[in-house]
Amino acid sequence: MRTNFPINKFHNIKTPFYYYDSGLLRDTLNIIYKETTKYKNYCIHYAIKANSNPKILKIISQYGFGADCVSGGEIQAAIDAGFPPSKIVYAGVGKSDWEINLGLDNNIFCFNVESTAELEVINTLASQRNKVANVAFRINPNIGAHTHANITTGLAENKFGIAMDDLEKTIEISTRLKNISVIGLHFHIGSQILDMDDFKALSNRINDLQCRLKQHGIVLPNINVGGGLGINYEHPDIEPIPDFAGYFSTYAKHLRILPDQKVHFELGRSVVGQCGTLITRLLYVKNGSYKKFAIVDAGMTDLIRPALYHAYHKIENISSNEEVETYDIVGPICESSDVFAKSIEINKCHRGDIIAIRSAGAYGEVMASQYNCRELPKGYITEEL
């Protein structure tokens, strides 16, 4: 049982809901801030997709970071929360015209462009507005990250980015487009990456590409390395804040930055992952023919990661101090994949117990759905309880 949850306050709130420990979020942001000030050319953009709860965005925007957006909705959410448009980067393989226009109208810092077809559309829409759009080319570096197949993005087989071989050609095309200004290169190899060698491999790849460009006399002022730093799902209390010092120094060591070049990061999971917990109530304990099921009122509609990626989240019965027993923790949704964990040991369960599903601050609330006509889970930060 974990005691530093405000469990007495949880009893009055309708479950399931997300609880965000704003103290931990602020501690995490302070560390990021402190670590990045060691490098004068580092710029942080929070990846809105990880958690776009307005209360979370409000806190993050107070630290002066930019925002990484992947849709018009995210651009709007970032602006509403106080992120300056001049620090917004916008990526995505399928940007609609209205989304591009929203970016142009707000003079966002940069469009991370994923194809020449998209480049031409941005040029047309920018020319209709008499504007010049800043773009960075998202390059597919063909580097595998040691993570789940569904969340690796930097391989040639993935839909993301422009092929490395097409880089010079793409830059060449862009020089003929009057309403486009190429200001950088963008990369992102995947998410939940814990092996720093993956970031080292990306750095080496970027170094090679920069050499290639230099031969053509091209120097771009911005290198965006994307996000991807993972969190400790097994031991959230031992490592509540990821090793940002090690992460940033890996790039400082391996990425060869040219004078005056800026390095941009798009951090999502590592910022918000550990501060969020899905709080759910135990409905029933059911004895199957050879298993014991703990049926909770949260389901895959509230947190889809275990069903979608077989992702591990630590689960605790924060109401009980009794001996541990082995359960499958399952939700109420009419899908066999609505399982949070199989054969795990937690303190003996009783109807009404509060169960905490940990490390759910990233890609939790944002990925919730209303399947089975369920209500979307609400999110509360510490100050609201």
Nearest distance, CB of residue 161 and ligand LLP, angstroms: 9
Q: How far apart are the first and last CA of the chain?
A: 21
Residue 20 vs 363, nearer CB to ligand LLP: 363
Task: Characterize the bridge pairing of strands 315-317 and 354-357.
Answer: antiparallel
Only one residue has tokens 């991807």, namely: 228
Cis peptide before 306 (omega within 30 of 0): no
The count of residues in the chain is 385
Nearest distance, CB of residue 263 and ligand LLP, angstroms: 14
Residue 151 vs 318, nearer CB to ligand LLP: 151
Q: Is residue 180 within 8 Å of residue 123, measured between CB atoms?
A: yes
**251 annotated as belonging to a binding site for a ligand:** no
Q: Which helix (H) or strand (E) segment is 134 a member of?
A: strand 133-140
**267 annotated as belonging to a binding site for a ligand:** yes
With H, G, I as helix, E, B as strand and everything else as coil, classify residue 308.
helix
Q: Which residues does residue 180 pair with via DSSP β-bridges, in sequence order?
A: 133
Which among 28, 38, 33, 34 is positioned nearest to 249, based on CA atoms? Answer: 38
Residue 113 vs 151, nearer CB to ligand LLP: 151
**276 annotated as belonging to a binding site for a ligand:** no
Which among 278, 295, 297, 296 is positioned nearest to 287, based on CA atoms? Answer: 295
Only one residue has tokens 């990061």, namely: 265
**228 annotated as belonging to a binding site for a ligand:** yes
The catalytic residues are 334
**157 annotated as belonging to a binding site for a ligand:** no
**374 annotated as belonging to a binding site for a ligand:** no
With H, G, I as helix, E, B as strand and everything else as coil, classify residue 317.
strand
Residue 172, both tokens: 């060449």
Nearest distance, CB of residue 311 and ligand LLP, angstroms: 6
Angle at 151 between CA 150 and CA 157, to 5 degrees: 70
Nearest distance, CB of residue 316 and ligand LLP, angstroms: 20
How far apart are alpha carbons 256 and 251 in whole angstroms? 9
Residue 1 vs 341, nearer CB to ligand LLP: 341
Which residues of this chain interact with ligand LLP, rule CB under 6 A? 47, 49-50, 68, 91, 151, 153, 188, 191-192, 226-229, 266-270, 305, 309, 362-363
**376 annotated as belonging to a binding site for a ligand:** no
**309 annotated as belonging to a binding site for a ligand:** yes
* Other CB atoms within 10 Å distance of the CB of residue 149: 10
Residue 209 vs 294, nearer CB to ligand LLP: 209
Residue 167 vs 366, nearer CB to ligand LLP: 366
Residue 309, burial from CB neighbour count under 10 angstroms (0-12, 13-18, 19+): middle
Nearest distance, CB of residue 308 and ligand LLP, angstroms: 7
CA distances 234 to 240, 246, 357, 367, 370, Å, are: 11, 20, 12, 21, 28
With H, G, I as helix, E, B as strand and everything else as coil, classify residue 355.
strand
Feature table: binding site for pyridoxal 5'-phosphate:
228, 266-269, 363
Feature table: binding site for substrate:
269, 305, 309, 335, 363
Feature table: binding site:
228, 266-269, 305, 309, 335, 363
